[in-house]
């Protein structure tokens, strides 16, 4: 059998290696239009920032190394120009010699990746970041020209990683995003506010909801939006990506509405002898297979590659969908998510409930304990739908646990009983995941009801009473306008000061004391709701809005 693979980065290289491990006799040819094979795409910004010190560390494999280990022929700078399905050949241009030749196949794997949705006209001070040559050009400019300021266009993963690594080079950075928030595909707006405020605290200027209309090169680069005209020593474009689908389109392979290649559960296209993997493919959600998306993440591409190699060799393991589990670090802060966001649930009319908790990442008495700003989404029946955490050390661990729980179709009750590692340096006896489960279970059991930051203005129009149960010192520092103040420890003795005929909207700092207060009052006949996330969430949202 002869297998030809188009693309030699994450998916293509993984498929080739797996194929060889399954069959020593198969002929495997990998065609890569670029000059590098199996490079660390996700590590590119960190080479620019000096975190990865040597260029060689980005190159996970070479054509010679691949051949020596796997007896796979990898041809770099060989661009496939056409797929002739009827003859089962691909037409290839050798970019080094500009000669054209044909390569036959029994099975063909497409792993072309994705390309920037828009590439601005590159010049001396204007760059895009997609591959190793782009990275070397940016690094070379920084090393030789010593820029003092930069503008990054794009508020996704690569954009934020570029901001971080430019800061490490002592470059002042402005960030422009077309969406109303950063990490729009990962986080809900209120969770992104923690990241927005953190970036501003590090000196980053953020411009959200602004599309770049023009970039003008000169002694300084000028970036023009509808609202602003910004200048800097360099500009890096790190906007979203679109599938590399031209080969598939020309070959008559089925595409989705946004141009992604359609496949079945074994990653076969509408041609049984052609498979597609990675960023160019349309995929289904694990929890709701009737919903489809695209997820340009290396982990997904690698899993698909393995399954395709298995299927070609007669081992049938279907790809059963994605959850969107992802993580991004910015300086010390970590943002991570899995499953559905609230935006996605609303857009798809999926019923849901939500809770917020702010537990510490490890025991509070152990040095450097920090909060995990944790949002949990679940169905009215308690099935876990998604989670987001914006925190610090330990964030990724908790999201990985929730991701596994989603894969196992667990409920919030299961979270309450998970037995997780505990030592003061690593967690708490009641882990953050357990606490999220406790709060969600209390909600479903009717032991507490919530109102949310987005409800506050409407509730002000009712005859309800806002009750603050924080300490006097906390109340003097911050409180909701018009709130009645009764510290939690005085509530039992002073509850007669409250009108039992009116709804009580309770708040504290993060929600815990509010829950205790709601239990005290509800058992005395009061109708209570607790502010989810407390003043910590509400005032963080306000701070973000004030600075936007």
> Which residues form the catalytic set?
42
Q: Are 294 and 258 a contacting pair, CB within 8 Å? A: yes
Question: Residue with structure tokens 């109102």?
Answer: 451
* Residue 272, Cβ density class (10 Å: 0-12 exposed, 13-18 middle, ≥19 buried): exposed
**How would you label 120-137 residue by residue, b for 16+ Cβ within 10 Å and e otherwise?**
beeeebbbbbbbbebbee
Secondary structure, 3-state, 238-285: CCCEEECCHHHHHCCCCECCCCCECCCCCCECCCCCEEECHHHECEEE
Please give the backbone phi and psi of residue 286, each rounded to the nearest 5 degrees, phi first. -60, -45
Cα–Cα distance measured from residue 204 to residue 171, given in angstroms and rounded to the nearest whole number? 10
Partners of 281 in the beta sheet? 261
Cα–Cα distance measured from residue 414 to residue 438, given in angstroms and rounded to the nearest whole number? 10
Taking the CB of residue 445, how many other CB atoms lie within 10 A of it? 10
What Cα–Cα distance (Å) separates residue 13 from each residue in 19, 241, 386?
10, 21, 31
Taking the CB of residue 91, how many other CB atoms lie within 10 A of it? 15
Angle between helices 10-22 and 298-312 (to 10 degrees): 30
Q: Is the dihedral of CA 38, 39, 40, 41 positive or negative?
A: negative
User: How many Cα atoms occupy the beta-carbon half-sphere of 23 within 13 Å?
Assistant: 17
- The pair of structure tokens assigned to 523 is 């058992």
CA proximity to 8, closest of 69, 75, 84 = 75
- The pair of structure tokens assigned to 267 is 């990653």
Question: Residue with structure tokens 């470059």?
Answer: 171
* Helix, coil or strand: residue 52: coil
* Residue 143, Cβ density class (10 Å: 0-12 exposed, 13-18 middle, ≥19 buried): exposed
Q: Is the dihedral of CA 115, 119, 124, 126 positive or negative?
A: negative
Q: What's CA 465's distance to the chain center, in Å?
A: 39
Please report, in angstroms and rounded to a whole number, the separation of the first and last CA atoms in the chain.
Answer: 58
* Residue 283, Cβ density class (10 Å: 0-12 exposed, 13-18 middle, ≥19 buried): buried
Residues 6+ apart with CB under 8 A from 255: 245, 248, 249, 261, 262
* Helix, coil or strand: residue 12: helix
């Amino acid at each position: 059998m002869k297998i030809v693979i188009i693309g030699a980065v994450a998916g293509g290289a993984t498929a080739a290696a797996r194929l060889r491990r399954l069959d020593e006799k198969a002929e495997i040819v990998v065609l890569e239009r670029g000059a590098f094979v199996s490079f660390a795409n996700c590590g590119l910004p960190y080479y620019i920032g000096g975190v990865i010190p040597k260029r060689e560390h980005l190159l996970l494999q070479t054509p010679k190394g691949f051949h020596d280990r796997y007896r796979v022929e990898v041809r770099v700078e060989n661009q496939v120009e056409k797929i002739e399905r009827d003859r089962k050949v691909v037409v290839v241009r050798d970019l080094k010699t500009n000669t054209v030749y044909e390569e036959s196949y029994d099975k063909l794997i497409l792993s072309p990746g994705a390309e920037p949705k828009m590439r601005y006209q590159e010049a001396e001070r204007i760059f895009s970041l997609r591959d190793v040559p782009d990275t070397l050009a940016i690094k070379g400019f920084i090393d030789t020209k010593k820029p003092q300021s930069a503008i990054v266009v794009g508020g996704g993963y690569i954009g934020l990683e570029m901001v971080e690594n430019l800061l490490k080079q002592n470059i002042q950075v402005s960030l422009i995003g077309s969406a109303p928030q950063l990490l729009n595909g990962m986080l809900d707006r209120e969770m992104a506010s923690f990241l927005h405020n953190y970036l501003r605290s590090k000196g980053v200027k953020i411009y959200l909801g602004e599309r770049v209309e023009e970039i003008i090169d000169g002694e300084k680069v000028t970036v023009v939006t509808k609202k602003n005209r910004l200048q800097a020593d360099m500009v890096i474009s790190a906007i979203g990506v679109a599938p590399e689908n031209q080969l598939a389109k020309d070959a008559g392979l089925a595409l989705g509405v946004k141009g992604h290649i359609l496949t079945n559960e074994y990653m076969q296209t509408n041609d049984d002898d052609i498979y597609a993997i990675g960023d160019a493919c349309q995929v289904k959600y694990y929890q709701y297979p009737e919903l489809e998306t695209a997820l340009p993440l290396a982990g997904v591409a690698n899993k698909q590659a393995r399954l395709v190699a298995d299927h070609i060799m007669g081992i049938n393991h279907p790809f059963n969908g994605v959850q969107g589990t992802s993580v991004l670090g910015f300086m010390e802060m970590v943002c991570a998510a899995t499953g559905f966001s609230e935006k996605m649930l609303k857009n798809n009319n999926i019923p849901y409930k939500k809770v917020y908790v702010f537990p510490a990442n490890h025991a509070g008495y152990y040095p450097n304990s920090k909060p995990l700003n944790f949002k949990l989404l679940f169905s009215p029946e308690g099935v876990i739908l998604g989670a987001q955490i914006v925190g610090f050390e330990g964030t990724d661990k908790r999201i990985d646990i929730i991701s596994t729980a989603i894969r196992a179709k667990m409920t919030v009750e299961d979270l309450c009983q998970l037995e997780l590692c505990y030592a003061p340096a690593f967690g708490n006896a009641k882990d953050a995941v357990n606490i999220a489960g406790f709060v969600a279970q209390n909600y479903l059991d009717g032991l507490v009801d919530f109102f949310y930051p987005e409800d506050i203005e409407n509730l002000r129009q009712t005859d309800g009473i806002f009750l603050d149960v924080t300490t006097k010192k906390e109340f003097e520092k911050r409180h909701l306008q018009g709130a009645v103040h009764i510290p939690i420890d005085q509530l039992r003795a002073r509850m007669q000061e409250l009108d039992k005929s009116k709804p009580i909207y309770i708040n504290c700092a993060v929600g815990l004391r509010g829950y205790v207060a709601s239990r005290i009052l509800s058992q005395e006949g009061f109708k209570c709701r607790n502010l989810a996330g407390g003043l910590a969430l509400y005032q963080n949202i306000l701070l973000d809005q004030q600075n936007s």
